[in-house]
Structure 1
């Protein structure tokens, strides 16, 4: 059963991770802490999403196309990790990855020019202590540096002001609205209409942040029975708050060309990982991951003053489920298949993340030659349908992810 346990550790790698949850991009593989002996690994993945939407009938006439075009850009991730045994009971883990990211840009119709980018790099150090042959505890800290940019085109903000003005005018004429309230509503509508009539280009909004580094902590515990390849591990990654120095610009408002500070909360994450042998050379593995993405809202101060709303945000926490099976074919060759499911929530979609849940099917394998282990995999992800505040419908969207990792035991 010892060889089967080694196989199980390999099968839990996330070399092709592609997540619809928030802006998750490359998850930290704490399973590496349970590799036998000293071990180093380098992983690379490429993800090619296809996410587009169809404008509602009332919006098509405001743009030049009925379709948004693919708004989600391809991206790559590169990560590295090392596990080193300090003593028989104490092990050190070092991890470097790109935990969060976004690359969105609309090429067609009303949303043309709407774009956002989020880049990050994380470094994590963890110590694992074997309390008993079956129980381990681990903990450490991670340092994450991030930077973001966003552009909202003139025609999108202009349309938003016009729609809001129409809603206020309709509310002013509703039955039962008193004269004073109606006058106030009509006054607000007139102000919005005036902004919507600004010269062309005056409503192009941009925001660029400086890089910001923050630190959070990780704690976890695991129970193992190596004779049946059983391991259950619970990991908590604490949330933190980025404090970005931001330059905002919106020509229609003379006072919006200034520096501000934008605070963005990142989620707490709870992950339950498990694996168990179920037959000779056969392993079942999986995870349940819950992230408090409802904490994540992007609200630059000047943008809030000008529009009364946020640039983007997530209203609901997300829980992601994964289950898979692995099979050892020879001492050198093993394979796995897995299914990942994230339920939708039915919220109004953000235009910068216009999907609602996902289902992914992945398979791959590992080849071991002496101290070297090579693992590769491919994953196909289908995204749930979503509708944004303008009635644009995003459906039949998907992504393909491929990844490879090279491990070395020393």
Structure 2
């Protein structure tokens, strides 16, 4: 016998629409770190699969002189956003009418981008590139160094990949006369790794830079407060996640470091074989990355016996976040920049808002719709993720297969904010406009009250 939708459970119908934050929308945000599985009644479990495909394309800059910041529209970059997918799992149960426990898994932060054309691809003819740089007003010595750096990675593409996994344990305690209030918290284990390749004249002397950060596991915590009023299907929760400090082993190869050292010792770098330059410019060090704290607010309330309204708000202080690899930072240090450069940084904090309505249209079927907005993390932004937020619309449905089992599916369409891609030196190297993407998700859930 199929169960009917009760007002207080209609929120599950739109959950699959809220599982994905676009990775390039603000900083490295990917999953939105959703915790609503923990607020379901009774024993609850879910498995969610999300697929994201974005079209992020624009133009590089015809100005490749590293000493001049003026942007000049150049060639098309092609689509740099790689499609990706990820999973989320959650399980929760009530020990008694006071205590609840849960475990959540998600992939909170990530990036996947690759340039396959334009000035973000290392030239197969670096000597011609050096001549073009001289003609563009670049000093011959600098042009020669850039051309030699290009030769260490001839024909290779700029790309970045960041992956993370997170496991959260939660213990909740209800209190109040009707157990309407709950405090909850627990430990968070987080694993992160990354790989970055900078290629092409767009990066000037930094062309050829490569870094690989080994996987690192570290720990933080989650804490929150919630209120519920079941008779009107009202649930509200405020959730805080802490920063997590990672001490990561990183291997960096930066050809310009070896080229500069050889030239500084009076040698001719152009006579040194490329493998020798790469070996001399590779270091393995440890450095720190602090993934950002965040605050999520989740709210739902019944409008009538078959309709539910929801709201989600998320804040992440990406302006506090930076990736500062040791060798990259050391090479960029000079009299004008005594602290060197960060490889990745953001100017603004992220605000994300999503509003939704869910409607029961049959005893075992509910449909839902959402609208959303993401502020982005600033414009200009990193050339490795040139999107400044988005607007979105979504549709979804949930079908109760049995009394306990249900399947949900949904999709979102996203309009990305225009952004310019900048180097850490603030030089504008690309311009991206009129881009979009879509998200598709499916969820299987089990609930026993």
Q: Classify the TM-score, shorter chain.
A: 0.7 to 0.9
Match of 1:241 in 2: 245
**Structure 1 294/345 Cα, relative in aligned 2: closer, same or farther at 3 Å?**
closer
Shift of 1:33: 1.6
Match of 1:21 in 2: 26
Shift of 1:286: 0.7
CA contact (8 A) 1:118 1:149 kept: yes
Partner Cα separation in structure 1 for residue 5 and residue 405 of structure 2 = 18
Match of 1:397 in 2: 435
Match of 2:331 in 1: 306
Shift of 1:59: 4.9
Match of 2:444 in 1: 406
Partner Cα separation in structure 2 for residue 355 and residue 288 of structure 1 = 20
Does 2:181 correspond to 1:138? no
Match of 1:47 in 2: 52
Shift of 1:58: 3.1
Partner Cα separation in structure 2 for residue 16 and residue 395 of structure 1 = 26
Partner Cα separation in structure 1 for residue 378 and residue 107 of structure 2 = 29
CA contact (8 A) 1:15 1:405 kept: no
Counterparts in 2 of 1:11-410, with a 5 A limit?
Answer: 11-14=14-17, 16-19=19-22, 20-59=25-64, 66-112=75-121, 113-132=157-176, 133-158=179-204, 203-254=207-258, 256-307=281-332, 308-344=340-376, 346-369=378-401, 370-388=403-421, 389-410=427-448
Structure 1 gap segments, 5+ residues each = 162-202
**Structure 1 391/117 Cα, relative in aligned 2: closer, same or farther at 3 Å?**
closer
TM-score, normalization by structure 2: 0.77
Shift of 1:121: 1.2
Partner Cα separation in structure 2 for residue 295 and residue 265 of structure 1 = 9
CA contact (8 A) 1:13 1:29 kept: no
Shift of 1:74: 0.4
Partner Cα separation in structure 1 for residue 195 and residue 414 of structure 2 = 27
Q: CA RMSD in A?
A: 2.3
TM-score, normalization by structure 1: 0.84
**Structure 1 316/15 Cα, relative in aligned 2: closer, same or farther at 3 Å?**
closer
**Structure 1 81/346 Cα, relative in aligned 2: closer, same or farther at 3 Å?**
closer
Partner Cα separation in structure 1 for residue 246 and residue 377 of structure 2 = 26
CA contact (8 A) 2:358 2:366 kept: yes
Partner Cα separation in structure 1 for residue 88 and residue 62 of structure 2 = 44
Partner Cα separation in structure 2 for residue 55 and residue 102 of structure 1 = 20
Structure 2 gap segments, 5+ residues each = 66-70, 122-156, 259-279, 333-339, 422-426
Deviations 1:19-65 (A, max 9, x none): 212111123332112212111111101100111111244359x99x7
**Structure 1 346/209 Cα, relative in aligned 2: closer, same or farther at 3 Å?**
closer
